[in-house]
Amino acid sequence: YYFNDGNVIFLVEDTLFNVHRYFFERDSPVFRAMFACPSETPEGGSEDNPILLEGVKSAGFASFLSCLYPMRFGTGDLTTFQDWSNALDLALRWEFDPLREFIALRIEETCNVIEHIVTARRLDKQDWCFSACAKLCHRSEPLTLEEAQILGIVETVRICAVREMCRGKPVRDLLWDERPWSRPREVTPGLEIKYHKEHAKKLLELPNAT
């Protein structure tokens, strides 16, 4: 990402990026404040005086820029959860709100249920988290060791509690126990997911989603 018509140069690790200041000023209050600071020799104006982005990996910054400069509009160019997650880290750090929402949507559409839960927690998207937990409870395969390591011990224990409760009885019988006046004639997969989501809200000890 070194554009001939770029007008701000960043140094990330040992890589120079020449990009367009306009997008950073428009979408990020962090960079807007940075560029507003008066200076006799403004950083970022040349390769000899670039803006140093400390604590940022060049690969992560490239992932972030691929979202800012997508080749495929509407879908983005990244293909792995790690790349999307790296881009999300920087969007959150620099308060690129529109880009953050775009990245979150792409993760929701393309990544697996564990990655949904991890991202939902980071963004405090509770209803998204409950829906992902419900799908995890509904599936027949148990959590794998790798999934448990990604989720962490607290999240894993909570999800296992929901799975154990939901799988102890058929959903038809559980619904009969709780609401005998409205027992469904047929329990569809969609109804099971909805039931698991309701109990995920209770057992995960989080406020109701809007």
Check whether residue 105 and residue 153 sit in a common domain: no
The confidence score (pLDDT) of residue 123 equals 83
* Residue 75 near residue 102 (C-beta atoms within 8 A): no
- Which residues are paired to 9 by β-bridges? 18
59, 89, 111: which is the final residue of a domain? 111
What are the average pLDDT values for consecutive 10-residue runs of the chain, which has 210 residues? Answer: 92 96 94 85 86 94 93 81 92 93 87 85 79 77 88 84 66 46 49 55 46
Q: Where are the beta strands (DSSP E) in the chain?
A: 8-12, 15-19, 51-52
Domain that holds residue 138: 113-210
Check whether residue 138 and residue 64 sit in a common domain: no
The confidence score (pLDDT) of residue 197 equals 57
The domain that contains 22 carries what CATH number?
3.30.710.10
* Residue 86 near residue 63 (C-beta atoms within 8 A): yes
Please provide the distance, in angstroms rounded to a whole number, between the alpha carbons at the two ends of the chain: 40
Check whether residue 136 and residue 77 sit in a common domain: no
Check whether residue 100 and residue 161 sit in a common domain: no
92, 111, 130: which is the final residue of a domain? 111
The confidence score (pLDDT) of residue 176 equals 43
The confidence score (pLDDT) of residue 167 equals 64
The confidence score (pLDDT) of residue 3 equals 92
Please tell me the total count of domains within the chain.
2
The confidence score (pLDDT) of residue 21 equals 93
Q: Could you tell me the pTM of the whole model?
A: 0.71
The confidence score (pLDDT) of residue 169 equals 52
Cα–Cα distances in angstroms (integers) from residue 173 to residues 125, 138, 182, 190, 191, in the given order: 31, 16, 12, 16, 13
Within 10 angstroms of residue 84's Cβ, the number of other Cβ atoms is 23
